[in-house]
Structure 1
Amino acid sequence: MSPRLTRPLVLEHEVRLADGSGGYTGSWEALGTLWAEVLPGRGALRDRAGLASHVQPLRITVRGAEPGAESRPAPGQRFRDGARVYLIDAVQESDATGRYLLCRAREEVLA
């Protein structure tokens, strides 16, 4: 069964700019919009430095793209869905034909 690519997600990558003090500041730049199917996994609460956050793992399926193509998601990039942000952890072909890519991603929200 083919995935239902019904949600437009903006694919973004981080752009690092020198801050003049030997470090950098990061901002996110849009690469384009991909139609996707977003399926949730099992969420969990995490405690980081005394702050509780809810982590929601996601399986995001998009159309396949050749390695190196700007439209191919990669770990370290993210999807934006309005105010929601999904950090991409891993990307793989969903089958041998490469028609679709499966992105393992997560959404973190402070509780």
Structure 2
Amino acid sequence: MSDPGKLTTRLTLEAPAETDDGQGGVTRATTAQAVLWAQLTAHPPREGVAADDARAVQRVTITLRGGVALTRAHRFSDGPRIYRIVSWRDRDRGAWLEIDAETELT
């Protein structure tokens, strides 16, 4: 990708956060780290998905400008939609970051 004009979706990069619950455990939540412009590309559904499956998953590729530090514990959100990071790779010598992600369809 070499056209920054295709970055038309604003996604929030969220990181996991744990706080003490006062009873020896933790409360898990996420905190917003950054708002980034991205290009989302949806992929066709996988073969063999059962019609009565409890959840349907949409695979997407998220393309961002390079320089974003990620782990698989991070996630992206777009309003109520959450994108779980599966994998990522650098493109064009680090100028772009291409992320494979999944989101549940409701």
Letter of the 2:42 partner, please give it.
P
Preserved contact between residue 11 and residue 73 of structure 1 (Cα < 8 Å): no
> Is 1:8 equivalent to 2:4 in the alignment?
no
In the aligned structure 1, how far is the partner of 2:86 from the partner of 2:39? 17
TM-score (norm 2): 0.81
1:75 — aligned with what?
A: 72
Residue 68 of structure 1 aligns with which residue? none
Q: How does 1:40-79 map to 2 (within 5 A)?
A: 40-43=42-45, 45=49, 52-65=54-67, 71-79=68-76
- State the 1:20 CA deviation: 3.4
Q: CA deviation at 1:88?
A: 1.0
Any conservation in 2 of the 1:75–1:90 contact (CA below 8 Å)?
yes
Cα shift at 1:51: 6.5
- Consecutive unaligned residues of structure 2, counting only runs of 5 or more, are none
In structure 2, distance between residues paired with 1:15 and 1:85: 16
Cα distance in 1, alignment partners of residues 86 and 27 from structure 2? 21
- How far has the Cα of 1:82 moved from its partner? 1.1
| Amino-acid identity (%) | 34
Gaps of 5+ in 1: 66-70
Q: Displacement of 1:75 after TM fit?
A: 1.5
What is the root-mean-square deviation in Å for CA atoms of aligned residues?
2.3
Partner secondary structure for residue 52 of structure 1: coil
- The number of residues matched between the two structures is 102
With over 3 angstroms needed to count, the CA separation of the structure-2 counterparts of 1:6 and 1:46, relative to structure 1, is same
Q: What is the rounded CA distance, in whole Å, between the counterparts of 1:46 and 1:61 in structure 2?
A: 29
Query: What's the offset of the Cα at 1:16?
Result: 1.2
Distance 1:81 1:23, change over 3 A: same
* Amino acid aligned to 1:2: S
Candidates 76, 95, 98, aligned match of 1:99: 95
- Higher normalized strand content (fraction of residues): 1
Distance 2:8 2:84 in 1: 19
Q: What residue is the counterpart of 1:109 in the other structure?
A: 105
